[in-house]
Structure 1
Amino acid sequence: MKGVSPLEIYNECRDDVQAIFRSRLLTQILIALGSGSKPLSALRDVTGSSSQALIPKIRQLEALHYVESVRSDYALTPIGRLVEPEIERLVTLMGVLQRHRDFWAEHDIEGIPPGSLRDLQHLYRAEVVKDVEEDIFAVYATFLTILRKASWIHGVSSIMSPVHADAIKEVVMGGTSVELVVSRELAHRLAAEPYSTTLESLKGYANFRIYVSSSPVRLGMTVTDGFLSLGLYRRGTDTYDTARDLVSTDTAAVTWGEQLFQHYTADSEILRISPK
């Protein structure tokens, strides 16, 4: 049997969908109650609205069976608890896109795996670091800071440069645990100079591993115990944007980055460094 399309479902239930999003207060009440039940006074504080404005909206949500009264407080019903996280996720995702719309619009986000794309809202607190005329090495300087402050480093990339390789070599020799997942194309380049000498010098270090991804890699990502840095290819090109990275110290972003790293390691094989 052919599945029902989302457009058909929308046509059937558009009144309920529009009821949630047609006003600021309806959405704010649902999101506010997502963290737990609240009295009317707390909802007034959260929304900045009067009781006279709030009560009709609460009644609407009660009629939809999303909200109920519990011991003089208001709370989400069981189906309200199903709906609210999806609203919260969508609102936060829109916030991520609005904060750095040019970054997302101008880069190939399809290089990010679908599971990570679905959780993109965790990057809300990230900031764009970019090279500008006054600071032409801003992105690289940030990369060095991230490496030097890290207790451990996990990376995924399809690009490398001698200066980046030297920076990684420095922290590995300093005792930091480093694991990298690289594309097959990059693995082939690492077998040649100037990278082969660097890899040979790190061969005896147990705190350094490189994995080769069996799937394409179209991003550059570094995640540590305190940082996430994400770089992407320019949209519609095969050119990696070395001049702009999205950087965050937020715990949710770091967790997002680590999950992306685990996605690639699950589909990778360790790179054996052959003696010269």
Structure 2
Amino acid sequence: MSSWKLINMSSLIDLIFFSEKRKNLLVQLDNGPMDIDEIKETLNVKACAIMPQIKKLKDMDLIEQREDIYQLSDIGAVIVEKMIPLTSLINVFDGNKDYWSKHDRSPIPTNLIKKIDMLGRCHLDEPDLDHLFEFPEFLRDRLSSSKIIKSFYSYFCPDCPSIQAACAKNGAEVHLILDERVYKRLKNDFEDEYNVLLENKVSLYIYSGKIRPSSFMIADNFVMLKLFGKEGEFDNNKIISYTPSAVEWGNELAQYYIDRSTKIN
């Protein structure tokens, strides 16, 4: 009887997810068979480090060896096909579990909650007291090189008008969605900044819905998402992801709010 028929689910999860080397090896073999030199180079490991992991996966019939070539077994291929989305989902919450559990996720549409694994590995940005309302400095180069930028703010951000206008001046297509109260404050109390946005052809939208995120920004190469706490409290911590699939997910989120907003110009 094959070893995989005897393995229980708990042991299978331990085998795959409790070792980055084993997990990464399975993912790489999903791209095709490899010899040991290719495995070492791709995973940046020494033979003495990876061979014990190969043996464990062979013992469980997840990979097989034909002469000097390693490849997924038939059951290994099935497991990896199901494993990759789960791995992406785990990456979303890895190190950020408290953020997702303690913040209001209702502004994220159900169809995007179901695809939240598209965010991939996320970074939790926790600004210090001196930089609470400033745009993250480490994202400025990424932002300035972006051709399309879509942002949402349900609070007044002092940096927002100048950042959006600067991107538009650089030739970016800029869409700015504002909570109705924020829009009125911008127009009435910050007339110069408001006119700068109009002069630089920033597309402005007013969102009047009750369910809304704190803010988000979607650029060509990153997604930045900020949610309110579960009791509606404001929190400056934010989730950031850089993967192409995260940008695709973020653009769907932005379009969801654009479709439910009123265009001003």
Q: What TM-score results when the alignment is normalised by the length of structure 1?
A: 0.66
Match of 2:250 among 254, 257, 260: 257
Matching residue within 232, 236, 240 for 1:247: 240
| Partner Cα separation in structure 1 for residue 233 and residue 227 of structure 2 | 9
Equivalent-residue separation in structure 1 for 2:127 and 2:46 (angstroms):
39
Residue of structure 1 equivalent to 2:131: 137
Between 1:216-225 and 1:34-43, the stretch displaced more is 34-43
Is 1:155 matched up with 2:147?
A: no
Is 1:228 the counterpart of 2:223? The answer is: yes
- Count of aligned residue pairs for this structure pair: 246
1:150-182 Cα deviation digits (max 9, x unpaired):
433111343333542344345445643211344
What amino acid is aligned across from residue 120 of structure 1 in structure 2? D
- Among 76, 96, 101, the residue aligned to 1:100: 96
Q: Unmatched 5+ residue regions in structure 1?
A: 1-12
Q: Secondary structure at the match of 1:84?
A: helix
Q: CA deviation at 1:222?
A: 0.5
Deviation at 1:233, TM superposition (A): 1.0
Q: What is the Cα deviation at residue 237 of structure 1? A: 1.4
SS at match of 2:136: helix
Extract unaligned runs of 5+ from structure 2.
none
Aligned mates of 1:270, 1:41 — CA distance in 2 = 58
**Residue 17 of structure 1 pairs with residue 17 of structure 2:** no
Q: Report the Cα distance in structure 1 between the residues aligned to 2:55 and 2:152, rounded to whole angstroms.
A: 51
Partner of 2:117: 120
Aligned counterparts of 1:172 and 1:210: Cα–Cα separation in 2: 16
What's the C-alpha RMSD, in Å, of the aligned pairs?
3.9
Q: CA deviation at 1:119?
A: 3.2
Q: Is the 8 A contact 1:221 1:231 kept in 2?
A: yes
Q: Cα–Cα, structure 1 residues 154 and 213, in superposed 2: closer, same or farther, change >3 Å?
A: farther
CA distance in 2, matches of 1:168, 1:158: 15
> Which residue number in structure 2 is paired with residue 4 of structure 1?
none
CA distance in 2, matches of 1:68, 1:60: 10
Residues 1:34 and 2:26 aligned together: no
